[in-house]
Amino acid sequence: MALGAQLPALFAKHHDTARDLVDLGLKLDDPLWHMPLWAPYKSGIESTIGDIVNTGKSALAGAINAALFLEYFVPENQDWLHIDLFAWNDTARPGRPIGGEAQTIRTLLAYLEERFAA
């Protein structure tokens, strides 16, 4: 909601990974925006029934709560990322007709090709 339909939210454990993806996305016109894994918000996913709850206690910081929920299941030493995206064009733009949108795919593919080049 906060970033709208054209700018997916990127959550990443390591800032250097996020920075590389944001820079590459801007270069490829396939943008992402780095959002914080804001630790003080972890109280928003605490539960009285289970270990954590996936919906958060309120609608505030929903995307951050979702990323913190996912972080709970990732080993501490594992680099990881989560992209919260809309993947739909409400209006046509050059090269992007109305309908389903392959958001972040170009950026992620280019990042993997750079990182794991043979």
Tell me the pLDDT tens digit for each residue of 52-65: 998 878 888 889 99
* Token pair in block for residue 105: 């795919």
Q: What is the pTM of this model?
A: 0.88
Q: Read off the pLDDT of residues 62-117 as tens digits, 9 standing for 90 and up.
A: 899 999 999 999 999 999 999 999 999 888 988 889 999 999 999 999 999 999 98
Q: Which parts of the chain fold into alpha helices (H)?
A: 15-27, 62-71, 105-115
Helix axis angle, 105-115 to 15-27, nearest 10°: 120
> What does the pLDDT average to over 8-34?
96
Q: For residue 118, what pLDDT is reported?
A: 66
